[in-house]
């Protein structure tokens, strides 16, 4: 994606990692963030390795966006590359290690502490309730940390960590892309860290794969929870598409999150509004039961079937009926006021 795009792209995922990505887009006084995440089964275990979120952001008036991506490391034991001269700042619920200046490390630690508190309000399962942030000084150090040679210029962060025999992530790290983060507003950075922290919490407390729209939509649901912004404002890029008659016609599929297929920002927003609708209509507890029931130990394809069943068993509706309500709400939000 060109830097002038308003929507982020996720990096190509590797076969052994689950990557989550969050995208952030901004307009005049608005910073929008969307996120994506993919679950992929690990090849040699029943657990999925993760692909982490990527979140790009395009601050204004700067023309473009830099996405943030979080990717999980391959399953198995992998020792992160040490960073020469790194400093660690320990927050209340966080640890931030990096080669940027101490004031920046401290700022990230505060954001991570805020993120953990936000996640704890929404995610009730037991998880370590701490996040580890890695803040490399430059692109080269970032590449060394994530072990990738492909173009990561649009990736804001990569979360990675091994998946244990239980299917739960262990020792996840959120590695920040310094070039991308430099383009984010403070609110955009907070969103990305909260979004990624949500993935860390879910990955460490709920095994198996879930439909991508639910994974990403939930991370955005937590990420946006403290924004104080109206839905119509945050979802403006998606609603513009709805007005043009180019809005969604069904819940997002995994392919809709593929940057090679087109803009992915609106997809994240669509996923977020679907999750948000569940939370408003059925409550946070029901949303989490729905999330937990919409999973399969090995396959996102089977998770889709589990989700169909969960619509009935947990929410007392059907995917078709819910989709109809969600699309009606998108049209309502997009309608001129």
What gap in Å lies between CA 193 and CA 118, rounded to an integer?
11
State which of residues 219, 238, 278, 327 lies at the interface with Zn ion (CB under 5 A).
219
Q: Nearer Cβ to Zn ion, position 35 or 201?
A: 35
Shortest CB 198 distance to Zn ion, Å: 8
Shortest CB 195 distance to Zn ion, Å: 5
Which of 29-37, 61-69, 116-124, 322-330 is the region at the interface with Zn ion (rule: CB under 5 A)? 29-37
Q: Check: CB of residue 212 under 8 Å from CB of residue 39.
A: yes
Instruction: Please report whether residue 71 would count as binding Zn ion according to CB under 5 A.
Output: no
| 68-71 and 19-27 strand pairing | antiparallel
State which of residues 20, 145, 154, 267 lies at the interface with Zn ion (CB under 5 A).
20
Residue nearest to Zn ion (CB): 53
The most distant pair of C-alpha atoms in the chain lies apart, rounded to whole Å, by 56
Instruction: Please report whether residue 145 would count as binding Zn ion according to CB under 5 A.
Output: no
Q: Nearer Cβ to Zn ion, position 20 or 294?
A: 20
Q: Which of 54-93 are b and which e, b meaning 16 or more Cβ less than 10 Å from the residue's Cβ?
A: bbbbbbeeeebbbbbbbbbbbbeeeebeebeebeebebeb
Tokens of 3: 């830097």
Q: How many residues bind Zn ion (CB under 5 A)?
A: 7
Instruction: Please report whether residue 37 would count as binding Zn ion according to CB under 5 A.
Output: yes
Q: Map the footprint of Zn ion across residues 47-66, applying CB under 5 A.
A: 53
| 131-135 and 94-98 strand pairing | parallel
Q: Nearer Cβ to Zn ion, position 53 or 248?
A: 53
Coil/strand/helix, residue 93: coil
Helix then strand then coil, % of the chain, to nearest 5: 40, 20, 40
Shortest CB 77 distance to Zn ion, Å: 25
Residues binding Zn ion (CB under 5 A)? 20, 22, 35, 37, 53, 216, 219
């Amino acid at each position: 994606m060109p830097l002038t795009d308003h929507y982020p792209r996720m990096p190509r995922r590797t076969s052994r990692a689950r990557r989550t990505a969050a995208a952030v887009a901004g307009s005049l006084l608005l910073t929008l963030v969307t996120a994506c995440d993919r679950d992929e089964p690990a090849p040699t275990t029943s657990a999925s390795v993760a692909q982490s979120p990527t979140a790009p952001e395009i601050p204004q008036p700067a023309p473009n966006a830099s996405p943030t991506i979080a990717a999980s490391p391959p399953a198995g034991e992998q020792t992160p590359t040490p960073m020469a001269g790194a400093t660690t700042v320990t927050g209340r619920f966080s640890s931030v290690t990096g080669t940027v200046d101490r004031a920046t490390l401290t700022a990230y630690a505060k954001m991570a502490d805020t993120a953990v508190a936000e996640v704890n309000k929404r995610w009730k399962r037991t998880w370590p309730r701490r996040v580890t942030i890695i803040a490399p000084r430059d692109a080269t150090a970032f590449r060394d940390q994530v072990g990738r040679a492909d173009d990561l210029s649009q990736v804001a962060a990569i979360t990675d960590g091994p998946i244990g025999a239980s299917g739960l992530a262990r020792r996840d790290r959120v590695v920040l892309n310094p070039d991308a983060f430099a383009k984010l507003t403070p609110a955009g950075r907070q969103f990305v860290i909260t979004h990624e922290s949500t993935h860390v919490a879910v990955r460490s407390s709920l095994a198996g794969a879930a439909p991508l729209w639910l994974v990403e939509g939930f991370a955005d649901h937590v990420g946006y929870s403290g924004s104080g912004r109206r839905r119509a404002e945050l979802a403006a890029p998606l609603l513009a598409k709805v007005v043009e008659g180019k809005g969604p016609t069904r819940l997002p599929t995994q392919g809709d999150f593929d940057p090679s297929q087109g803009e992915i920002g609106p997809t994240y927003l669509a996923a977020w509004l679907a999750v948000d609708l569940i939370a408003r209509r059925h409550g946070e507890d029901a949303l989490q039961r729905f999330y937990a029931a919409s999973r399969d130990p090995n396959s996102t394809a089977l998770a889709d079937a589990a989700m169909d069943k969960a619509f009935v068993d947990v929410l007392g509706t059907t995917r078709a009926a819910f989709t109809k309500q969600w699309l009606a709400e998108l049209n309502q939000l997009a309608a001129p006021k």
